[in-house]
A and B are shown apart, each in its own frame.
Chain A
Amino acid sequence: MSMPKPVPPQHVPPKFQVGDRVEFLFGVRRVHGEIVEDRGQIGVGGRRLYGIRFELTANEEPEYIEIPEKDIELESVSH
């Protein structure tokens, strides 16, 4: 399959791994989730995106979101 877009100019190693517990801002809430997929450097300007499963409401089906690396932090230990 042809890839019409140029490859990102520089490979940047991933900061997170699949299975990492992470947190990010969802509106004004800080939500927690698990990285389920490293989507690669397919974001704006070649930034890396991650697929994250997270629970927004207790006992509801988990949600899926793709977030740029810069907006994610490892889950704090206290949680």
Chain B
Amino acid sequence: MNRNSALNELEGALQSLGRSGPGVRYTREQLTQSYVMLISGHFQAYCRDLHSEAIDYLIAQVRPATLQAIIRSELTRHRKLDQGNPNAGHLGADFDRLGMTFIPDVKSSDAKNILRLADLASLLEKRNAIAHQSFAPHLGQSQLKMSDVRRWRTSCDHLARAFDLVVHKHLHTITGSAPWPLI
């Protein structure tokens, strides 16, 4: 399923809920928590795919071809995005191995990305609280607002484009050719 479709379906389910009635509040809360998990999961999958695609492009330039699998293996060894959240630390650890300064590049590509990265950190903090059903006092369960969730999703959308752009630019710089068409 397309990533946007999956998220839109959940958004639609939330909107179709009535304002009141038996179990509505509980259902809304559960759907909102699912929404947070889904945004985080899709964003992680997107970042991992981008990393894989970048490696494939980079490795395709390597000659002799007998070296390719050896280098491929090294670039995905202990990849943080295979198991961990797409937080700034993990993103930097994985993408910096391609020879770039990922997070600084993202921040310098658009000043708004600093706030978007802060939104991503908030999303992941809430995602972890939901996954472990561990709500620290300052993260109170009741503080999960749809306006926040929607803003996090929008920030992730923008970050996805920014990540694509900085990785594209980096690969273009080091190989001399554009890895994929930008839209």
Contact = CB atoms under 8 A, between A and B. Distances in A.
**B46, B49, B56: most-surrounded residue (chain A CB, <10 A):** B56
B77 interface: yes
B57 A44 contact: yes
**B2, B82, B179, B180: most-surrounded residue (chain A CB, <10 A):** B180
B160 A44 contact: no
A62 to B, nearest CB: 11
How extensive is the interface on chain B, given as a class?
A: 35 or more
A1 B52 contact: no
Contacts of B70: 26-27
A67 B46 CA distance: 18
How extensive is the interface on chain A, given as a class?
A: 20 to 34
**A26, A66, A67: most-surrounded residue (chain B CB, <10 A):** A66
Chain B contact residues: helix, strand, loop or mixed: helix
A6 B76 contact: no
B20 to A, nearest CB: 32
A1 B42 contact: yes
B56 A1 contact: no
B82 to A, nearest CB: 7
Interface in B1-45: 2-4, 7, 39, 42-43
Nearest to B3: A1
A9 to B, nearest CB: 11
Nearest to B68: A71
Interface in A19-65: 24-28, 39-40, 42-44, 47, 49, 63-65
A64 B79 CA distance: 10
Contacts of A6: 180-181, 183
A35 B2 CA distance: 23
Interface of B: 2-4, 7, 39, 42-43, 46, 49, 52-53, 55-57, 60, 66-70, 72-73, 76-77, 79, 82, 153, 156-157, 160-161, 164-165, 179-183
Given A65-B69, A67-B69, A71-B68, 15 more contacts: A1-B4, A1-B43, A1-B157, A2-B3, A2-B4, A4-B164, A5-B53, A5-B164, A27-B67, A42-B56, A43-B56, A44-B53, A44-B60, A63-B77, A66-B52
